[in-house]
Amino acid sequence: MGYSVLKVEKKEGYAILTFDRPDKFNAANAQIFSELAAAVQEMDADKEVGCMILTGQTFTHPKKGTPYPVFSAGADVEQFASIGKTEAGFDFIKVCFEPFKAIEFCETPIIAAVNGAAFGFGFEISGTCDMCFCSKSAKFALKEINHGAVPAWTVTRGLEKLGKQVVAYLSMSAVEVDPEEAKRLGIVVDVFEDDELLPKCEEIAKRIAANSYMAKTFIKTTLNRKAMEEYQEAERFMPAIFATEFMQGAFARFLKKK
């Protein structure tokens, strides 16, 4: 399958999926949701792929002209303009969750290699991966509350990984977290120099890929056994959040500035 906002590279025993939407700093829209879900499913069905890595890349900042490392800067706000009605929000959140479910429900282990900014969607999609590592240029934040929104994955699935206090702190304060604090809070397993991040993750991917397919499958499915129930919970409350006057007003003001 061909991809336009994602690069898919197969290597010996593993694959690298790279966000590739430079004009929007890898912000997620329906196309990214669809392509990422499809790529994960395609690589999961490939018996030559025993592990995957999800990462971003360094772009040239369009205004500053300087290198800008970015994993994903969040969700593309323009897509929220049409979800004022609860019914539309119900359909929309299911589209948003397609890549999240693909990552958690697939049998192939997936490593997040967070190379730069991971806000909102970027933070949460890295959390769905089986393990997450980052570079010293990484930064993490959940800024949904600034728009009256809720980080749906974090307050449901993310509780298992991060715990109540960390989830409350991140989702209610919208604070930006640097790599060392991300490690302390359990967001990432380890932090590497920028140029070492991908090579280190590739070493881990090769090691995982060489191990028993059955054993990896049982480990992953056991760890994610509550996923369906918690995605359904988020799908029930998010349409009401999308329809609030606060959230719709915030997005209307954002779009008016553009």
Residue 81 has pLDDT above 90, yes or no: no
Residue 124 has pLDDT above 80, yes or no: yes
In a domain, 1, yes or no: no
- Long-range CB contacts for residues 104-107, cutoff 8 Å, separation at least 24: 104/128, 104/157, 104/224, 104/227, 105/224, 105/227, 106/40, 106/41, 106/44, 107/44, 107/213, 107/216, 107/217, 107/220, 107/221
In a domain, 202, yes or no: no
pLDDT value for 251 = 67
The pTM of the full predicted model, rounded to 2 decimals, is: 0.94
pLDDT-derived band at 1, boundaries 50, 70, 90: confident
Per-residue buried b or exposed e for 134-145, using 16+ beta carbons within 10 Å of the residue's own CB: bbebbbbbbbbe
126-136 pLDDT, tens digit each: 999 999 999 99
In a domain, 206, yes or no: no
pLDDT-derived band at 255, boundaries 50, 70, 90: low
**Residue 54 lies in domain:** 6-194+212-257
206-241 pLDDT, tens digit each: 999 999 999 999 999 999 999 999 999 988 888 888
In a domain, 247, yes or no: yes
* CATH of residue 251: 3.90.226.10
Residue 57 has pLDDT above 60, yes or no: yes
Domains: count for the chain: 1
Residue 254 has pLDDT above 70, yes or no: no
Residue 247 has pLDDT above 90, yes or no: no
